[in-house]
Amino acid sequence: MSAVQATRPAALLPPLDPEAVRADFPVLARQVNGKPLCYLDNAASSQRPRAVIDAISGYYENSHANVHRGVHRLSQEATDLFEGARETLRRFINARSTREVIFVRGTTEAINLVAQSYARPRLQPGDEIVISWLEHHANIVPWQMVCEQTGAKLRVIPITRRGEVDFDAFLGLLGERTRLLALAHVSNALGTVVPVDRFIREARRRGIPVLLDGAQAAPHLKVDVQALDCDFYCFSGHKMCGPTGIGVLYGRESLLEAMPPWQGGGDMILAVSFERTVYNALPYKFEAGTPHIAGAIGLAAAVDYLEALGLERIAAAEQSLLEYATQRLLEVPGLEIVGTAPHKAAVASFTVAGVHPHDLGTILDAEGVAIRTGHHCAMPVMDFFGVPATARASFAFYNTRAEIDCLVAALRVAREMLA
């Protein structure tokens, strides 16, 4: 039976049945190095359910043509599917209008778009952009680039030893010259869920716009951009069971209207002559060129899939896995969990005394266990904790306690071999 057939409200549903859910994901049946795959690298990229794979191949097999262009049947079908996907994404994040939902390559492109189109024309030398120490490089480097271009300065909110963004220090950093707050909703390296409501409230009171990097949040938390009251929200398809190369930039319509396009080309124009070009309306103004049509359709299929399972049930299943994993991991001698905020997404970043994370990654792979090792594109976080790298196991709703047992057993093998 497919796990997608659930239609009752989530609160009334029994907990997710991991076996039924796993049957939806073809890759989970494979073996690696002669062992069943334990895929615990979901914060890097999640796997795809059959429903997403079928939506993409079904589109290519039946309806592919370019969008917004032709009067022929296939072009109309492709346009309907693409714009239908935009409406699905609008509903998913509760944006007011599809004019606020811009398809981009992913979170990284979304942040770069805001840095270049929103921030760059406005920033003056001495203006300040505030980010936190927890950020992924994608929410650091685009701001550094725009600071170099404009003479603005980057201010960084410190974190605590538990891996929480320091709220009091944040208040101290806000000032006359603060022009933007760019904050992770959930830390990719540590799993910390940042209580963004408090930060947004303080920033908005002072008239400071807020961008949230939701790459790690969108698959695990209910995102409501109106309730959050943020100005920009960025997320990627591939971390929420959708395709790679597609993501969403949500922007408050009044801000998007005032922003210049950041790439020029087809689709983003109404009329072009060599003297003057009239730009298209939102959201197309920011979607130059033929978009990733199949990606948008696949991402909408992922949203439908996740919503059918129930976002609350998904969150409950992942929290239960995190609790179990935390308890089991701490039984491994010499293991230390890095990032111990009270509210975390299902991410366990850790070190094992005497075994370098990179060796852990290789030894675990031989046991069929896939984890991420390294700096997780968050070198400042590693520097803060004084480690060159960590091992990171990150869980999705299709993972099982048995897989966590495999992880722990493989860690014991690694310790015996090297520590």
Which range binds another protein by CB under 8 A, 6-14, 69-77, 265-273, 361-369?
A: 361-369
Q: Is 409 in the site for another protein (CB under 8 A)?
A: no
Pairing mode, if any, of strands 269-272 and 277-279? antiparallel
Q: Residue type at 80?
A: D
- According to CB under 8 A, which one of 375, 396, 406, 408 is a site residue for another protein? 375
Q: Where are the beta strands (DSSP E) in 91-236?
A: 101-104, 128-132, 153-157, 178-184, 210-213, 232-236
Size of the site for another protein (CB under 8 A): 17
The Cβ of residue 402 has, within 10 Å, a number of other Cβ atoms equal to: 11
Shortest reach from residue 29's CB to another protein, in Å: 21
Judge whether 243 and 298 are in contact, CB under 8 Å: yes
Could you say whether residue 363 binds another protein (CB under 8 A)? yes
Residue 359 in the binding site for another protein (CB under 8 A): yes
C-alpha 170/C-alpha 164 separation (Å) is: 12
Catalytic residues: 377
Shortest Cβ distance from residue 385 to another protein (Å)? 12
CB of 358 to another protein, least distance (A): 4
Query: Closer CB to another protein, residue 321 or residue 355?
Result: 355
Interaction of residue 333 with another protein, rule CB under 8 A? no
CA distance 132 to 139: 9
> What are residue 39's DSSP bridge partners?
370
- Strand stretches in 55-135, DSSP E: 101-104, 128-132
Q: Out of 382, 391, 396, 406, name the contact with another protein by CB under 8 A.
A: 382
Angle between helices 73-93 and 293-309 (to 10 degrees): 40
The binder of another protein chosen from 315, 338, 389, 391 (CB under 8 A): 389
Shortest distance, CB of residue 375 to another protein, whole angstroms?
6
Integer Cα distance of 346 and 321 in angstroms? 7
Chain positions 41 to 60 lying near another protein, rule: CB under 8 A, are: none
- Give CB contacts under 8 A, 24+ apart, made by 65-69: 66/290, 66/293, 67/290, 67/291, 67/293, 68/267, 68/284
x/- mask, another protein, residues 11-40, rule CB under 8 A, reads ----------------------x-------
CB of 201 to another protein, least distance (A): 37
Regarding 368 and contact with another protein (CB under 8 A), the answer is no
Q: Which is nearer to another protein, 34 or 207 (CB)?
A: 34
Interface ranges with another protein (CB under 8 A): 33, 355-359, 362-363, 366, 373-375, 382, 388-389, 417-418
